[in-house]
Every structure is written in structure tokens, then in C-alpha cells.
Amino acid sequence: MSVIIFADQFQGKVKKSALEAVQYGAKIAQQLGIPAVAVAVGEIDGTELSALGQYGASKVLHVADGRLNEPEAGAVTKIVAEAVAKENASVIVFSHNFAGRSIAPQLSARLKAGFVAGAIGLPDYSAGFVVKKNVFSGKAFANVSITTDKKIVSVMPNSFSLSPGSGSASVEAFAAGLSDADFKIKTVKVETVSGEVPLTEAEIVVSGGRGLKGPEHWGIVEDLAHTLGAATACSRPVADSGWRPHHEHVGQTGFTVRPNLYIAIGISGAIQHLAGVNGSKTIVVINKDPEAPFFKAADYGIVGDAFEVVPKLTEAVKKYKGN
């Protein structure tokens, strides 16, 4: 028996969300007294793979096929299914990131294995195998029991902070018997957003709304984000107006984020926006309207003019960041 964890990569580096999944899967393995085995695909340096031992993996099965640098969901489903058979896995873990959302449901249907998407807690074994997840866009939680022998869980990014140890995993080449027919989806182009922290993996997010009055004023948001090492984000009206790109839109119809710190500047806090950010551990709201509903969801608030408050906050933060 074992726990299998899919550790996906981007440009040769294992994603932070995948490291969280490895750590989560390794904790389950520890609880069950069985090994944690990671599966990685694409061209990745061996040192990067053996470092998964720091997060609890004892072994990494590596399919070093360059066609999988952008993980093709159908092919990876086949690879993980074969790894499950090889290692006699009882639990399979993914990150609830873009790749996991594509592969995990396909694997669930292939193995007829129950799947809980977006776990925010480790399994409770007192009544079988029960996993907590967000429902109603973060407005509630559900405790979901997986009733099949094999169990699949995807872990919501940023739900578990990383605490690497000193272990090292053995790396084993894995031949999954892929054929051309397994590659039904052809990647034509990958465009990276260079120099920015990926929004869904960011531990700090600085977000702006209509209160900033126009895209020409985004410099104060970017300055604060840069000082904090944060990702920038925006509310829906801002993205719809073309002030900021759609990939920065957080909220019910945009991206869901769960950073340690979410700073909302000039965002009133519509319920649809809160649905995308209510998993944030600490929320700061800066708004000149004291009646802005976002203050009810915030941990810290300042009623004031963003154009005065934000630059001062950037300067104050610099003292703690040492820059």
C-alpha cells in the first residue's frame, strides 16, 4: 500500500502548490504507516526531484518525456493510473491547481475511485475517510466521505503552509508505456507572465478596485506588491473595464485565492468578490467609504484615501522587510 502524489512542474521547477500536495500526501502516508510516492512528468532536474524528500516523499517515479512539460491530462491520467497499480496505492493526492482540476476527475472516473476536490483539512478516519472542503464558494464547509477503496483528494492551494525537512527521495525512471494516441491535446503556445508571482500560489495578494479610479493609478498597488513580494489582483469591474488583465481578476467568476494576507484597496466587497477571497487568512481593507461591506469581512481596516494611505503603507512595510 502507498500514497501517490502527483507533483506537477512549470518550466522544470515543481510548483509550490505541488509541494503542498506532496506534504499533505506524506502526512496521510505517515498516519496510515505506508510510504509516500511522488509522480513527476516532463524534463526536471534530478536534484529538484530528490528534494521532494524534504516534503515527505520517499520515492519519486519520473516520466522524463519532454512532451509532458505541459502535462497533457489524458497522458498523465494514464501515468498516474499505472503508478497506482505499480505501488498498490490506496490514496492519490493532487493539488487543486489547474493540472489537478483536469487530471484528478479523469483518474476518478477511470479507477471508479471517490474524489474530493479542494480539500482544506487532512482526512478524519474516525468515521471512515472524511475530508473537509469549501462549498458555496467558501461560505460553508462540507465534510465528505469517500466510500470507495481507492480515494482521490485534491488539496486547495495555500491551505497548508510548507515546512520542509531534510529528507531526500530516491528517483526512479518510470516507463508508463505512452503511445502517440495518449497525446490528444497539442500545446501550441505557452506565454509566461514573467517577473510576477502566480496569483493562485501567492502568499500575499494586493488587490485594487474601482476606488483607484483608473489604470494610470495602479503604480501604488504595484509598489506595495513589489515591496511585499506579493501578487497583484483586481475586482471584476476593473478587469471588465480593461484596466487590468483578466488573469488578475479574483472573485466568484475569477480566481479563488487563499493567501496569508489579502490587501483590498478601493474594493467595496460585493459578495461575489468575497467568494473568491474569503479563504484568506488575514484581510486588510483600505477604503474611503466607512460603510463598505468589505470591512465586515476584514481583520484590519483603514478608512481613508487610498492615494494617501497606500504609499505610506509601502514605506512602513519597508521597515519590516529591510528594504
Binders in 93-122 for another protein, by CB under 8 A? 96-99, 101-110, 112-118
Q: Considering the rule CB under 8 A, would residue 135 count as an interface residue with another protein?
A: yes
| C-beta of 226 vs 247, nearer to another protein | 247
Q: Considering the rule CB under 8 A, would residue 308 count as an interface residue with another protein?
A: yes
Q: Considering the rule CB under 8 A, would residue 69 count as an interface residue with another protein?
A: no
Q: Considering the rule CB under 8 A, would residue 10 count as an interface residue with another protein?
A: yes
Q: What is d(CA 61, CA 79) in angstroms, rounded to the nearest whole number? A: 10
Q: What is d(CA 78, CA 177) in angstroms, rounded to the nearest whole number? A: 9
CA proximity to 144, closest of 113, 165, 123, 174: 123
Q: What is d(CA 287, CA 278) in angstroms, rounded to the nearest whole number? A: 18
Q: Least separation, in Å, of the C-beta of 53 and another protein?
A: 23
Please identify which residue in 226, 281, 293, 307 interacts with another protein, judged by CB under 8 A: 281
| C-beta of 156 vs 171, nearer to another protein | 156
Q: What is d(CA 235, CA 239) in angstroms, rounded to the nearest whole number? A: 7
| C-beta of 36 vs 75, nearer to another protein | 75
Q: Considering the rule CB under 8 A, would residue 254 count as an interface residue with another protein?
A: yes
| C-beta of 31 vs 260, nearer to another protein | 260
Q: Least separation, in Å, of the C-beta of 27 and another protein?
A: 21
Q: Considering the rule CB under 8 A, would residue 218 count as an interface residue with another protein?
A: no
| C-beta of 29 vs 116, nearer to another protein | 116
Grid coordinates belonging to 194: 514573467
Three-state SS at 308:
helix
Q: Could you tell me if 295 and 267 are in contact, meaning their C-beta atoms sit under 8 angstroms apart? A: no
List binders of another protein among 176-205 (CB under 8 A): 184-193, 198, 200-201, 204
> Considering CB under 8 A, how many residues would be counted as binding another protein?
99
Please identify which residue in 29, 144, 225, 264 interacts with another protein, judged by CB under 8 A: 144
64: CB partners within 8 A, 6+ apart: 42, 43, 44, 173
Q: Could you tell me if 238 and 244 are in contact, meaning their C-beta atoms sit under 8 angstroms apart? A: yes
The phi, psi pair for 131, rounded to 5°, reads -120, 135
In order of 9, 52, 60, 152, 176, the CA distances from 63 in angstroms are 12, 15, 10, 21, 7
Please identify which residue in 1, 85, 175, 316 interacts with another protein, judged by CB under 8 A: 316
Tell me the window of 44-52, 58-66, 82-90, 249-257 that interacts with another protein (CB under 8 A): 249-257
